[in-house]
Amino acid sequence: AQSVTQPDIHITVSEGASLELRCNYSYGATPYLFWYVQSPGQGLQLLLKYFSGDTLVQGIKGFEAEFKRSQSSFNLRKPSVHWSDAAEYFCAVSSGGSYIPTFGRGTSLIVHP
């Protein structure tokens, strides 16, 4: 069965600092990987996704993520965080044979001015 681990429940950064949110997955074949963001009181919005090809994926709002098969990771990065990035971030994994993605428990990002 596929699983997703987001080891950090909360991350606090200063505005303008760089950010990396960790995501590790467990799945035998090449997975489909997603990062979603949830602002307070809102639903989830897709930031980026990886299926195949270039392992560095660019997304919206200046985010990027890198797929590392050897580490079973798909970490989300942003070089300079803005206060509006404060939100909950979810990593998700699925596969060609599974139409139901598995979501991690989420990482709450707090941005200090």
Partner 1 sequence: GAGVSQSPSNKVTEKGKDVELRCDPISGHTALYWYRQSLGQGLEFLIYFQGNSAPDKSGLPSDRFSAERTGGSVSTLTIQRTQQEDSAVYLCASSLGQGGQETQYFGPGTRLLVL
Q: Which residues form the interface with partner 1 (CB under 8 A)?
A: 9, 32, 34, 36, 41-46, 49, 51, 90, 94-101, 103-106
Q: Which is nearer to partner 1, 18 or 39 (CB)?
A: 39
Q: For the CB of residue 96, give the shortest distance to partner 1 in the complex, in Å.
A: 5
Asked if 45 and 37 touch (Cβ cutoff 8 Å), the reply is yes
Cβ nearer to partner 1, comparing 16 with 105: 105
Buried b / exposed e along 89-113 (16+ C-beta atoms within 10 A):
bbbbbbbeeeeebbebebbebebee
| Residue (42 or 84) nearer to partner 1, CB | 42
The nearest distance, CB 51 to partner 1, in angstroms, is 6
